[in-house]
Structure 1
Amino acid sequence: MSTETELSSVNSILGAIGQAPVSRIYQNESKTLVYINPEIAFVHNLLMDVNTDVQTEGWVFNTEYCYEMLPNDSKEINIPPNVIRLDKSEGQTYRECDPVKRGTRLYDKYNHTYKFEDSIKLDYVFLLKYEEIPTVFQRLITLRASGRAAVQLVGNPELSKMLSMQEAQARAACIEYECNQSDSNFFGTPSGTVYQSYQPYRTLAR
């Protein structure tokens, strides 16, 4: 379960650049995007920008495969609003369709149209809420945003160097998480199959 929130990460960034923590980000609880001061607005925007950058890479926690999408009554396919990347799923070998995301709709570059006659399976990368992503990725995002804040707000090269080293360690933890959770193998066997890849512990189970 994630333990970080946007507020705690903002305070971590503030602490990294030698600033005092805050008790809230917005002036009221309705989150009308009225920040308590310009510095907090800048730091929070940094955090959200880095959050988008990291999630756009596509990780095991925010990537879903073979999403079958059906055309609506207008023969258009609407894309969920939190999709930041998509691709045609493997196994669809026909090359008479090249779908891409344009706004909130799917566009066929091959036929130059928004119209689709049949369903299509897509692989989606979702932009999840900050509180929904794994803690190791929250840590990476916080440290990367801290590094940017150190450059843009403080201009301290030594601090920036130290934060870069911490960011590299955090990214290594994310790669480890990815390897453990994805259960990837050389054959690229998709989910839903019965193939079980070799694992070293099986040698001891003879």
Structure 2
Amino acid sequence: MIITPNTTLDAINEMLASIGEAPVDTLEEVENVDVMNCKRILDSVLQEIQEEQWSFNYHPQYTLTPDTQTGYIYWSPTFLRLKGTDGKVYQERSGVLFSLTDNTSTFTSPITVSVVILVPFEDCPTAFKRYVTARASRLFSSRYLGDGQVTQELYEEEQRARARFYSYEIDMTHPSMANNSEIQQLMNRG
């Protein structure tokens, strides 16, 4: 059973426990290969799951302001997905925002976008931390231990953590078919 991980260190110690390894006291100047692999897998899973867009990392109206000297809007490494709210298409090029629509990386005024941002592990909701830790533990164990029974148990724990997180997400967003723009169009036809 995954204990609630509040920090990256807690999550990594849960991952180490999944293969029967002893916990570590710090992540500073780590030379332990298992700890380095845990950190790499945890970071990868954290980003992979957040790319899906959740209530805590999605900003539908996010203003980006160009640098007054260059006109560039510098790309943040925390941006996972970004879309123009005005229909324009943007991407990152050489560390700055590039408008594919206007074929330029120079902006004269602020722009508004919707953006999915990578939130650090410690700042994520508890249910999400559990889910990420459970998934990372399963992946780590299956890659470095390879015990089918342990992997199955970790998979089941991951599914329980995923269900708890989805329940949290439903509570936070109150999804409704009536909020879907296509459904609203159909409802307005009548």
> TM > 0.5 between the two?
yes
Q: How does 1:165-180 map to 2 (within 5 A)?
A: 165-180=156-171
**RMSD between aligned alpha carbons?**
2.1
Q: 2:146, 2:90 → 1: CA distance?
A: 44
Residue of 42, 50, 63 corresponding to 1:47: 42
Q: How does 1:58-97 map to 2 (within 5 A)?
A: 58-73=53-68, 74-89=70-85, 92=86, 97=88
- Identity, % of aligned positions: 27
Mark the runs of 5 or more structure 2 residues left unpaired by the alignment.
182-190
SS for the counterpart of 2:177 is: coil
Q: 1:103, 1:181 → 2: CA distance?
A: 36
Q: Deviations over 1:167-204 (max 9, x none)?
A: 111111111111111133334389xxxxxxxxxxxxxx
Q: 2:84, 2:174 → 1: CA distance?
A: 22
Q: 1:165, 1:141 → 2: CA distance?
A: 14
- Check the 8 A contact 2:59/2:114 in 1, yes or no: yes
Q: CA deviation at 1:3?
A: 5.6
- The residue number in structure 1 matching 2:100 is 109
Aligned length: 177
Name the structure where helix makes up a greater proportion of residues: 2
Mark the runs of 5 or more structure 1 residues left unpaired by the alignment.
27-33, 191-206
Q: How does 1:1-206 map to 2 (within 5 A)?
A: 4-26=6-28, 34-73=29-68, 74-89=70-85, 92=86, 97-188=88-179
- Check the 8 A contact 1:85/1:101 in 2, yes or no: no
Q: 2:47, 2:168 → 1: CA distance?
A: 19
Relative to the length of structure 1, the TM-score reads: 0.77
SS for the counterpart of 2:142 is: helix
